[in-house]
Structure 1
Amino acid sequence: MTGRLIAVVGPSGVGKDTLIRALVAARPEISEVRRSITRPTDAHEACLSLSRAEFARQRDAGGFALSWEAHGLYYGVPADVLTRVQAGQDVIANLSRALLPAAMLTFPRVSILSLTAAPEVLAERLGARGREAAAEIARRLARGAPPMPEGAEVITIDNGGPLEASVATALAALTRQASL
């Protein structure tokens, strides 16, 4: 039996990492992917901070199943995640929407949780993080999102309200998909 990569995507500030942690707490059989990233990380992210040189070394040595660049940073999903999915485990990762076609080519099954929230909710959350100035936040909010890949298994969730509601919606939809 093959597992699946559950790709959580959405704009900055939509609560991807928060939802991932809540889903894993509710269903411990789902394993959270610890990404590599070329910036300091905080307690809210399941990430390993790497220098650009170390990231490039690991990427060039085949250390990532997926890697990408966004906003001047580099991100990677460890190569062992593919092995875990092929062995039947469901894994969940915060991914870039632009990476979804590559993920669908790499992994035998990908389910996409596409998170949304109202612009004012996103602006408030981004401001509270304190990583970016107001002008950068405005640019992020004005950016368009790439379309979902054709044939993708997409679950769209409004994550602007109570976390419990988003978790319940996601778990119900993921359970339905798993039985197909």
Structure 2
Amino acid sequence: MTEVDSANLIYVMGPSGAGKDSLLGFACERIGTCVMFAHRYITRIVADGENHIALTHDEFAARLSYGLFAMHWDSLGLRYGIGIEVDAWLARGVTVVVNGSRKHAQIALERYPQARFVHIDAAPAVLAARLARRPAFELPDGARIVRIDNSGMLAEAGTQLLDVLGAG
């Protein structure tokens, strides 16, 4: 792996239903091209509001075998990958935002030790049904984290995310 300044990586995570994709879309529309929002490669069709590239399981396996993912994980029968282009962007000093997995945060921290982690969440009543089926979330020791509560207006949480991205 080429040496990169991992301080420019912003790893966004949180439970399903917290509004990560909405917040990332909000920030992307307002911040312009000074920040790169990494696509995720996922073995499912593209859904509204989600920034990802759909791959078949065979396509994913081929890309994995060629070393084309900087990070990858499995969740609920799907495969997720972040392309190695993020390392090229980081090597050039570009700020990169990744929509990551809470369960993969430790591996991301090991690969990118200076990364900033942003945990998006919402009110317990909004997430209760989904969170009841998941283990408790714990950030890896040593990770720098910014917490954003997305229970209220999108613009409020979006402005907080813009502040983290240095564009607030």
- TM-score bracket for the superposition, by shorter chain length: 0.7 to 0.9
Question: Highest relative contact order (Cα 8 Å, sep 6+), 1 or 2?
Answer: 2
Q: Which amino acid aligns with 1:52?
A: H
**Shift, 1:174, TM fit:** 4.3
Measured against aligned partners, the alpha-carbon deviations of 1:70-94 in whole angstroms (never above 9, x if no partner) come to 1110000001111111211111121
**Shift, 1:102, TM fit:** 1.3
TM-score (normalised: structure 1)? 0.82
2:81 to 76, 81, 86: 76
TM-score (normalised: structure 2)? 0.87
2:164 equivalent to 1:160: no
Q: Which amino acid aligns with 1:16?
A: K
Q: Aligned partners of 2:70 and 2:122: how far apart in 1?
A: 29
For residue 97 of structure 1, give the secondary structure of its aligned residue in structure 2: coil
Corresponding residue number in structure 1 for 2:62:
57
Corresponding residue number in structure 2 for 1:9:
13
Corresponding residue number in structure 2 for 1:100:
105
Q: Aligned partners of 2:124 and 2:86: how far apart in 1?
A: 33
Higher helix content, 1 or 2: 1
* Structure 1, unaligned runs of 5 or more: 124-137
Measured against aligned partners, the alpha-carbon deviations of 1:96-155 in whole angstroms (never above 9, x if no partner) come to 0111111122235311110111233236xxxxxxxxxxxxxx3x3211233101111100
1:170 to 141, 151, 161: 161
**Shift, 1:175, TM fit:** 3.4
Q: Aligned partners of 1:168 and 1:83: how far apart in 2?
A: 28
For residue 77 of structure 1, give the secondary structure of its aligned residue in structure 2: strand
Kindly report structure 1 stretches of 4+ aligned residues shifted beyond 6 Å: none
- Residues 155 and 170 in structure 1, CA contact (< 8 A), matched pair in contact too: no
Corresponding residue number in structure 1 for 2:25:
21
> Aligned residues: percent identity?
36
2:154 equivalent to 1:149: no
Corresponding residue number in structure 2 for 1:87:
92
Are residues 67 and 171 of structure 1, via their aligned partners in 2, closer, same or farther at CA, if it must alter by over 3 Å? same
Q: Which amino acid aligns with 1:79?
A: I
* Structure 2, unaligned runs of 5 or more: none
Measured against aligned partners, the alpha-carbon deviations of 1:10-29 in whole angstroms (never above 9, x if no partner) come to 11010001111111222221
Q: Aligned partners of 1:146 and 1:116: how far apart in 2?
A: 11
Q: Aligned partners of 2:127 and 2:166: how far apart in 1?
A: 28
For residue 103 of structure 2, give the secondary structure of its aligned residue in structure 1: helix
Q: Aligned pair count?
A: 161
